[in-house]
């Protein structure tokens, strides 16, 4: 039987604080590396991660990158389809735009800005890409926006004829003039033969379904919606009687919102 004194297993608070600090440094270094495009290829690891196999770190970085690209493809499916699958755009994007947020919309917004900058230097290979990307990112942004307020014009029958109606374009609504081909791609509708007239659309979140969609508008309506960037008086209930159903339809679509004030 040995007479040697037992080794002490006592861990001091100072030891725990040091271990915690080391683990936090390792975690911070790992997160930074997994979003650093340099580590999509085997690269020597920094001191904080000494002992980790660079090839394994590369595999993990590639997995994180592929998840990020998948989020962008889910959010901007038609845009990515038109860009193609040559495998180069995602690496270029990663090199200029490290991931800042795990949300789909945040990564898609970064990618959209990347495309806009790229198109300033060279036009896109597919002429429909700017319109498609604009509408898809607008649709995606509306999915995370707070739901609109309940309709106001639904109570118009009980309003006094002298009550004043105010209207404005709903926050988050985007307007675009599309070719018929771009509209068909975005909506999944068949392209009409010999269709070459531009289509005025509003990208809005429907109050009825709660989902974002493209709404085709006649030119006079499109111009009205475009002009209503802030609250403006539209007239009294009495003077708008013939237009209330059309206005209510725009409200149901989430394109416009209204309020009624007592003008008696």
88 or 213: which carries more pLDDT confidence?
213
Whether the CB-CB separation of 135 and 240 falls below 8 Å is answered with no
Confidence label for 250 from pLDDT (cuts 50, 70 and 90): very high
Question: CA 200 → CA 79, 82, 114, 116, 191, distances in Å?
Answer: 20, 22, 26, 22, 16
Q: Go through 115-139 and write b for each residue having 16 or more CB atoms within 10 A of its CB, e for each that does not.
A: beeeeeeeebeeebbbbbbbbbbbb
Q: What is the pLDDT of residues 71-114, one digit of tens each?
A: 999 999 999 999 886 557 777 787 778 777 888 999 999 999 99
* Element housing 18 (H / E): helix 13-34
Does pLDDT of 194 surpass 80? no
* Element housing 224 (H / E): helix 219-227
Q: Say how far apart CA 203 and CA 208 lie, in whole Å.
A: 15
Query: Whole-model pTM?
Result: 0.78
What's the pLDDT score for residue 155?
A: 46
Token pair for residue 257?
A: 């919102």
Q: Say how far apart CA 129 and CA 138 lie, in whole Å.
A: 14
Q: What is the pLDDT of residues 117-132, one digit of tens each?
A: 989 988 888 999 999 9
Q: What is the pLDDT of residues 149-185, one digit of tens each?
A: 666 665 454 456 778 888 999 999 999 999 999 999 9
What's the pLDDT score for residue 89?
A: 77
């Amino acid at each position: 039987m040995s007479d040697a004194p037992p080794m002490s297993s006592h861990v001091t608070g100072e030891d725990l604080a040091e271990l915690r600090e080391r683990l936090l440094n390792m975690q911070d270094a790992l997160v930074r590396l997994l979003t650093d495009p340099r580590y999509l290829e085997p690269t020597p690891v920094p001191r904080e991660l000494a002992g980790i196999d660079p090839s394994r770190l590369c595999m993990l970085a590639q997995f994180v990158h592929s998840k990020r690209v998948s989020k962008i493809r889910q959010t901007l499916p038609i845009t990515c389809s038109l860009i193609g699958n040559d495998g180069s755009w995602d690496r270029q994007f990663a090199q200029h735009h490290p991931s800042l947020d795990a949300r789909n919309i945040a990564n898609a917004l970064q990618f959209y800005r990347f495309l806009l900058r790229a198109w300033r230097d060279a036009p896109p290979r597919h002429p429909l890409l700017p319109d498609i990307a604009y509408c898809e990112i607008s649709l995606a942004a509306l999915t995370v926006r707070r739901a609109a307020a309940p309709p106001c014009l639904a109570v118009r029958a009980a309003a006094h004829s002298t009550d004043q109606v105010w209207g404005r374009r709903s926050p988050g609504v985007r307007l675009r003039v599309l070719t018929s081909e771009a509209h068909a791609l975005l909506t999944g509708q068949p392209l009409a033969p010999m269709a070459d007239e531009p289509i005025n659309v509003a990208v809005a979140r429907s109050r009825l379904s709660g989902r974002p969609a493209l709404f085709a508008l006649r030119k006079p309506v499109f111009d009205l919606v475009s002009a209503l960037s802030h609250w403006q008086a539209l007239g009294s209930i009495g003077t708008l009687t013939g237009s209330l159903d059309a206005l209510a339809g725009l409200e149901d679509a989430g394109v416009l919102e209204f309020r009624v004030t007592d003008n008696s």
